[in-house]
Amino acid sequence: LDMTTTAQKVAVSIINGRISPINDAKEQKYLMYLWNNMFICIAGDSPNHYREFGGDIACHVSAGLDLHAIHYLNTLNMSNLYLLGTTIVDYHGYRLVVQLVFPGIFHRNTTQALDNGSVNHGKSIFINNSFQELAKTITEKLHFVPQKYIDNSGKEYELFLSIETKGVLGTDNRRYFLDFYKFFPPDPAFISSDLEFLKSDQEIFPCKFEQAGDIVNKNGFQFPKKYPYRLACFRPELLSFLFAQQEQIENLNYKNSASTVEVLLTSTEAKSTSISILNNCFVAKFSSDCFDTELRRPQSEKQNVIECRNCVRQISSFMVSEKIPIFISTLINNSMSYIFDHDSLTETLHEEGINIRYIGYMAHLCKAMEKSCFIFILFIMEMICRSVKHIFRYLLTKIEKTQTPCMIAYFINCFLGSNLKPKLLLPVGTKNKYSKAKQIKSTPYQ
């Protein structure tokens, strides 16, 4: 709490120019700051590190993904796992990432900045056995499989976490992990490169299920062909649900699976989900880098990568074919539903493991259902507000600080105002004394 409060004050001071940076850069988004044992930087693509993932937009998103992964890892209560205190502050259109400085950051060998992982997207890779053992313990809980990579020198490495996740040994002999923005499995429905892999993957290791894109197309909908960034991933709540269902199915007697499932699984959602996974022989096998086209891999790793891609494709198909339709049906038919605004909608979707980016597809399904008028309107309002938020954030970064109050008032009036007359409305009895043109007749506020 103390760090969060301090981070907010420091972020405001940085944007307002009251704290000097520790580096020299032409653009503000490339500047870095050090204050009271906290390292602060603006979430901007510097220097083109996120170019392959979507540039500045991907960098903005990666900060949130990193924070979500840290929150999840803290719930595991693992010993010997040390993470940096992290806070995100959104202010004046900028996203500032505030992290505590780990011991020894200013006394490291310049020839090797890391002990595990890579800082240049696989061109040079570092391996440390103590970090690898800890990473293996983490990935076993999420059913990740080790992946092999090749650096520029041709040497082969095997990593359990994403190649973008870095391990650093502090001077206090603690092992710190950094950069978890590629921690959770990717969502192929919103990764454009999946279309490039799908045809060739099917020839080598064909899928036994219908693809998510084909399912939504049959329903008269289409996912965007080019998403703004390539870091879309599944929520941990969905993975926990699938793991629980898979464990339940493995404990069933397969000879009497149909009757056993009917007796043991009472809820409609659990029944439909379990039967789907059982019929398709779902096996959790994940890799965060399975859709990365820039990484070099040995030829022997090809089938392993394809199996990881098919695994997340199956989850994506399950999401659009069963998880979302059942959720919407339950939502409409349940009179005790408490969804009534943005916060309750977001909280409920996240508890179900459904990402907000599926809201367009959910609104499309609601359109054809009876008694869904309120939910449909809520989905549309949510999409509009989220779209406007991006425009608002961009405009805030393009104005002077002294113009902020006027800009906010003008923007809100344009967005929410009902009076479209291009005339200045003055209170009764006042005059526009600064106008040289013909005086506008005073009218009451509307």
Domain contains 414: yes
The answer to whether residue 151 is domain-embedded is: no
What pLDDT score was predicted for residue 429?
65
The torsion angles phi and psi of 144, rounded to 5 degrees, stand at -80, 150
pLDDT at 192: 77
Residue at 129 is within a domain: no
Q: How many domains does the chain have?
A: 1
- The three-state secondary structure class of 68 is helix
Domain of 416, in residue numbers:
386-420
For 301, the token pair is 């790793």
Two tokens, residue 123: 């061109």
Rounded-to-10 torsion of CA 59, 82, 13, 47: -30
Per the structure block, which two tokens stand in for 322? 């069963």
pLDDT given for residue 281 in this prediction: 60
> Distance between CA 445 and CA 391 in Å, rounded?
28
Q: Per the domain annotation, does 395 fall within a domain?
A: yes
Is 302 among the domain residues?
no
Select from 44, 2, 256, 297 the least CA-distant residue to 148: 297
pLDDT at 87: 95
CB 81, CB 199: distance < 8 Å: no
CA proximity to 25, closest of 50, 5, 45, 1: 45
Collect contacts of 369-377 with beta carbons under 8 A, ≥24 apart: 369/328, 369/329, 369/332, 370/332, 371/332, 371/333, 372/328, 372/332, 375/328, 375/331, 375/332, 375/339
Structural domain includes residue 396: yes
Q: Which of 12, 90, 98 is nearest to 393 (CA)?
A: 90
pLDDT at 278: 43
Residue 155 resides in a domain: no
* Helix, strand, coil shares, percent, the chain, to 5: 45, 10, 40
Query: Does residue 163 lie within any of the structural domains?
Result: no
Contact of 249 with 274, CB cutoff 8 Å? yes
Q: What is the per-residue pLDDT for 274?
A: 42
Nearest-angstrom CA–CA distance, 93 and 392: 8
How does pLDDT run along the chain (446 residues), one tens digit per residue?
A: 688 999 999 999 999 999 999 988 878 888 999 998 899 999 987 777 888 888 889 999 999 999 999 999 999 888 888 999 999 999 999 999 999 998 877 776 655 678 899 988 889 999 999 999 999 999 888 889 999 999 999 999 999 999 999 999 888 889 999 999 999 999 999 987 777 788 888 888 888 788 899 999 999 999 988 889 999 999 999 998 888 887 777 776 454 544 444 433 444 444 444 445 445 567 788 999 999 888 999 999 999 999 999 999 999 999 999 999 999 988 888 765 678 888 899 999 999 999 999 999 999 999 888 777 888 999 999 999 999 999 999 999 998 888 898 889 889 888 988 766 556 555 666 555 545 444 444 333 33
User: Could you tell me the pTM of the whole model?
Assistant: 0.85
Give the CA count within 13 Å in the CB-facing half-sphere of 6: 15
CB 134 within 8 A of CB 175: yes
Q: Can you tell me the distance from the alpha carbon of 36 to that of 398, in angstroms, rounded to the nearest whole number? A: 29
